[in-house]
Amino acid sequence: MAVYAFIFPGQGSQSVGMGADLAAAFPAARAVFEEVDDALGEKLSKTIFEGPMEALTSTENTQPALMAVSMAVLRVLEEQGGLDLAGKVTLLAGHSLGEYAALAAGRAFGVAQAARLLRTRGLAMQKAVPAGEGSMAALIGATLAQAQEICEKAGEGGVLEIANDNGGGQIVISGTMAAIDAAIILAKEMGIKRAVKLPVSAPFHCSLMRPAEDVMANALATTEIATPIIPVIANVTAEKVTAPDAIRQALTQQVTGRVRWRESIEAMTGMGVDTFVEIGAGKVLSGLVRRIDPEVSTSSVGTPADIEALLKSF
């Protein structure tokens, strides 16, 4: 019998029109988008469904938008598909902002709370570093040790840190613009397969985000958090987190801390998970999981047809 983990995507999975077919087909999905709109006091759903892409990729919109799509899928599975989440799913996890969707799925807090927290998070991250002063780069085909060496050598005199250990030889580094430029040159000299600057608006998941971490510490301190009905694997520790204060700490540290995605997947398979279901927009996480562990089963659920297929498989 399959042992399931539900995983929730992060920034980079967004596309204009995501979730529109769900909202058209299912009242439960429409209700999620309306709840997010009400929580933010604006029609974010219009930006999600119609664009423009420039507005959707602005991080204060991307973060609540991706959570909204994930929760719309989940609500349809539960309310109209009859899914008993706690009875069927062993663990939850999300990539960066996806951790908020995972916690909302686990009832640690509601959709409206998640939307407001992610709007605060996105704005704080954008303001933490002036535009053009920070960046991120993906190192493809690099080991963790090689990435660390690049950060130490190219980051002299600036900030350069490992932001994401995504697994399958994909590591993302984050820091000052000059350090990122130097890292790309050094990576090529070291024979790394590919080193490419990412189209992001700020250097996420590094110490330059300290002002945003402070903002989130304050926001989370006043947020009511419950023990989730299913344990969530925290990005910063790659371990189960269930206690409300531990959740606050994990989400605060996540702003500047490394997303330990490879370790998180390895931890879940070590706990017996053999089937990963990506809930929400895109298929990025499913691809990463397959590279980390080719033996496990993966699927992505973001459309009415995907929902139907998943419910048949249970």
Catalytic positions: 96, 205
Compute CA distances 147 → 40, 42, 150, 152, 172, whole Å: 38, 41, 5, 9, 9
The closest alpha carbon to 183, from 137, 241, 223, belongs to 137
Q: Which two tokens stand for residue 165?
A: 């250990």
Looking up tokens 């998970």, which residue turns up?
273
Residue type, 99: E
